[in-house]
A and B are shown apart, each in its own frame.
Chain A
C-alpha cells in the first residue's frame, strides 16, 4: 500500500504522461515530450503539500465534520467586520467613491485560503484572460495562479524548470532585478540581443540552427514584450510571430513577463500577447502525432504569461498572476505550499472588491487612464531629453511606446570609434552631481560594457527632471572634453 497522500487523484501531469506514452518510442533520445521533462530536480523531489491534498475530502458528500485543517478561528481575528476605502471612479477620475468590502468576502480575506489563490479571484482573472487574449480555459488546459507579485511567480517558474547547467535564452538587455534569482539556479545564459522592435529573432534562429547536436536544447526564453525594463521597447507582431514559431519548432517554453502590458500608449493598435498569438496562429492545433509538438492543444501550450497589478492598482498589494499550462502551474504551487503557503488573501479580496465594482469595462477605462498618464510623462521626458542631450548629439534614443523607462545612449567620445561606457559616468560622476540613474551594463545578462542609461520617468516632477537633464548635460560635455 502506498502512503503517499498525493496519489489519490491523478495529477494533470500523470494524465498527460499517460496520453503521450504511446508515442514515446518515436521520440529522439533526450527529447522533451511532456511538461515533466522540462522540470527541475528541485520540484521533482518536492512532494505536494500533504494537507492540501486532503482538503478536497472536506467536500465529500455527505459533508464530514472536519478537524483536519489548522485554520484559526475567524472569531479571533479582531477585525470587527468592516473595511472600506475611497477609490477613484475609472470613468471619472475626479470622482472619489467609497467602497466597502462585502462582509463575507472580508471573512474569506482574513483567513487562509488556497495555495494558487482565492477561488473567486482566480475565476475573475481566468475570465479576464479568456476575453483579453481570446483563449478558452477548459478546452486548452491552462489556468491561473495568483502570487505575491509577479516577481515571485517568475522566480518559482524558473525554479520549476531549470537545473544547474540547463540552457536558458534571455533577451538582452533585460530586467536586472530578476537576474540574481536566475543566476542562483546556475543555468547557462544564451543572450539574444534586441532592438526597438523587440528581440532579434534572426539572431535567435541562427543560435538555434547552430546548436550542437549533443547539447541539450534550451528549455525556455525569458522576454518582456511590452515596454521592456530597461529599454521601454515593445516587440512587433512580426517578431512575436517569429519567436513563437521558433518555440514550437525547437520545443522551448516562452516566459512572457508582461507587467507593462496595460501601460501601452503607442499610437497604433496594440499587438496581441504571445499567449493570444499562440492560439490565433493555430500553433495549439498542431497535429498530435508530430513528435516535436507534443505539448498540444489540450495541454495548455508553450506560453507562460505573467501579469502584475503593481503598476495599475498598487505595488503594495503585491499581486501578480501567472497564466499557463496546468502542469507548470502545479509545479509553481508546489513550491508556494512550502515557501509561503499562499499569497495574501486580504489583498486579493481588496483587489477583487475594486475589480468587481468597476467591472471589466471600468478596469479597461482605468488602465487606459493610467497609460495616458504615462504617455504624457514620456512626452515630457522626451522633450527635455531632446532639449538637453539630443540637440548636440550628446545622446540618442528610440521612443518608448509603453512603460515608464527611457533608455538612451550617451555619446561620450565624439568622433572616435569607441563605444561609451556609462558605468563610471553614472555610478560616480552623475551621483557626485546629484543624479541617480542606472548604467546600461546593469541590464546585460551577459555582462560587459554599455553606452546606455536607464531613466525612470514615472515619479519625478517636470521641474526636477529638467534640473537632472541640465546636470547630465553639463557632465556629458565635461566628459567629452576630457576624452
Chain B
C-alpha cells in the first residue's frame, strides 16, 4: 500500500478547486478567495487532526485503531420510528422507520460536513431549486446546527477584526451579534419597501475612501426579511450582483424564509441562481454563499441548516466545525432524510406550498386587524414572504410628515414596549435591536406565526390604545 498519512496543510497551501475550468461556467479560482476574502483566522485554521484522518479509515484492508468512536453496542437506542404528515394531504399520517444503516450513522460520530446521503439529497434539492449543477461549478454544501451556525461560521471564514461587512438597515439581530463577536465593522445600506436599495449601495461603493479597507461581503436576507418582511425583486438582485462583481465583494444570502414565499408574482431567483444565469468569461460564479434552514418548514428544534457556496469557503467552515464542535447531530439528519426520502422532491415542494399558504393566511389576518385598528396610526408594507410585519408607529403627530426612517422626534418604540405596551398586555420586538448602532426608532417587529385571529385583533386594539396614549402624553 503506497500511502502515508500526511498532516493537513492549512488554507494557505491548499487550492481546493482547479483554477481553470473546462466547462461552460467559469469559476473563481481558489487563490482568489485566499487573496481577497478569507479572514486571517480562516487562513490559520487547522482541521481537527484526528478527524482529518477519518477518510483513511475506508481504505480496503486497513485496520483502524484510530478514532475514539464509542462502540455502538453501548448506545441504548435502536429502531427509531416517527409519524409525519403526508405532504399532499396534511390530514393523513405516514408512519416511517429510520433505515437501520442510516440509524447507525445517526447514532455515531460522522464527518463534520454532514451525513453523506443527507448531503446528497440536499445537493439534489439545490440543483432543482437554483439550477446549479454540483459538478464543475466549484460549490459544496455543509450541514450545520441551524443556519445560524453556518452563518456565524461563514462570517468567521471571511471577516476578522476591522474587516468591513455591508448589512441591510434594518437587519437580523442575530447577524449583528455574530459580527460584533468577530470585531467586524458594519456599514448600513438603506432599504425601502422593495428591500435593499442598489443605488445607495452603489453610492457607498463609489465614495468609498481609498484609505479604508474595502467591504468583503454584503449580508442580506432576500425573502421575507427579518425584521422588515420585504422580498427583494429580481431586478434589484441583478443590480446588486453586478455591484458585487464590480466592487469585488461576496454576497451572503441568508434565506431561511425562501420556502415561505406566498406572493402573487412568480418568485424571484436566488442570488445563487442568478450568479450562474448571469455568468460570463469575465464574470465567473463563486461570489454567493447561500444559507438555508429547515427551522421554519420541518422543525426548529432539530437545528439543521446548510451553507452552500464556493468550495474554498465551505472547506474553511468544515475545518471550523471539526475543531469547534466536531459535527452537527447526526440523529436529526437521519430523521430528516427519512422523511425527505419518503416524500421525494415533489413531496417536499408540496409540503412547502402548504406551509407558505398557511403563513399567507396568517398575514392576511394580521393585516385585517391592522387596517381595522391602526389605519392612520401606523405604516407598514404587506410582506409576501416570511412571518413578520415591520410597523412604523406614529407616536408623534407633529413629526409624521418627515420621511426619515428614524428620527428621535418620531418617538421611541423601545421605551414604549417595556412600559405602556406591557401594561396594556401586548409584547412586540422594539425595532432598535435590528439596527447595528442600536438607534432610537419608532419601528416594531410583529411576528404573526403563533397568534390566532382573535388574539391579533385584541393585540391591535390594545396597540391602538398605547399609541393614542403616547400621542396624548407627548
Residues of A within 8 A of B (CB): 1, 3-5, 8, 42-43, 45-47, 49-51, 54, 57-58, 60, 62-73, 75-88, 90, 96, 108-113, 147-149, 151-152, 155, 176-181, 183-184, 229, 310-318, 335, 337-347, 349-350, 354, 366, 369-370, 373-374, 377, 404-405, 427-428, 431-438, 442, 455-460, 464-465, 467-468, 471
Contact = CB atoms under 8 A, between A and B. Distances in A.
A65 B458 contact: yes
Nearest to B3: A431
Nearest to A83: B82
21 contacts: A3-B432, A5-B414, A51-B433, A63-B425, A64-B422, A68-B427, A78-B84, A78-B90, A83-B81, A86-B78, A179-B323, A180-B49, A312-B70, A314-B331, A341-B148, A431-B4, A431-B5, A437-B66, A438-B53, A465-B63, A468-B65
Given A67-B451, A457-B65, A112 B301 contact: yes
Interface in B255-276: none
Interface of chain A: mostly helix, strand, loop or mixed: mixed
A340 B82 contact: no
Contact of B65 (A42, A338, A341, A455): A455
A5 B433 contact: yes
Contacts of A71: 300, 447, 449-450
Interface string B421-438: 110011111101100001
Contact of B303 (A51, A62, A344, A436): A344
Contacts of B432: 3, 5
B48 interface: yes
Given A86-B77, A177-B50, A340-B303, A436 B146 contact: no
A8 B414 CA distance: 12
Interface of B: 1-6, 41, 44-51, 53, 56-57, 59, 61-85, 87, 90, 93-94, 105-110, 144-146, 148-149, 152, 173-174, 177-178, 180-181, 183, 226, 295-303, 319, 322-332, 334-335, 339, 351, 354-355, 358-359, 362, 387-388, 412, 414-415, 418, 421-422, 425-430, 432-433, 438-440, 446-451, 455, 458-459, 462
B447 A460 contact: no
A401 B149 CA distance: 37
B332 A315 contact: no
B107 A155 contact: no
B427 A377 contact: no
Interface of chain B: mostly helix, strand, loop or mixed: mixed
Contacts of A344: 145, 301-303, 329, 332
Contacts of A1: 412, 415
Contacts of A370: 74
A346 B299 contact: yes
B71 A373 contact: yes
A315 B429 contact: no
Shortest Cβ-Cβ A-B pairs, 5 listed = A345-B301, A50-B433, A316-B330, A152-B325, A340-B149
Contact of A432 (B3, B72, B327): B3
Given A73-B362, A177-B50, A436-B64, A313 B323 contact: no
A48 B450 CA distance: 25
B111 to A, nearest CB: 12
Contacts of A77: 298-299
Given A181-B324, A337-B177, A344-B302, 8 more contacts: A64-B426, A73-B359, A76-B354, A86-B78, A313-B77, A338-B174, A340-B303, A346-B303
Contacts of B359: 73, 76
Nearest to A370: B74
A128 to B, nearest CB: 17
Given A62-B425, A435-B63, A316 B329 contact: yes
Given A79-B82, A85-B78, A178-B323, A72 B65 contact: no
Nearest to A50: B433
Contacts of B6: 427
Contacts of A316: 105-110, 329-331, 334
B302 A436 contact: no
A162 B309 CA distance: 32
A220 B159 CA distance: 28
A419 B310 CA distance: 46
Nearest to A112: B300
Given A155-B323, A314-B107, A76 B181 contact: no
Contacts of A433: 1
B20 to A, nearest CB: 32
B1 A431 contact: yes
B105 to A, nearest CB: 7
Nearest to B4: A428
Given A151-B324, A442-B49, A57 B427 contact: yes
Query: Which of B297, B332, B387: most chain A CB closer than 10 A?
Result: B332
A5 B56 contact: no
Contacts of A428: 4-5
Contact of B181 (A46, A65, A152, A437): A46
B68 A456 contact: yes
A49 B174 contact: yes
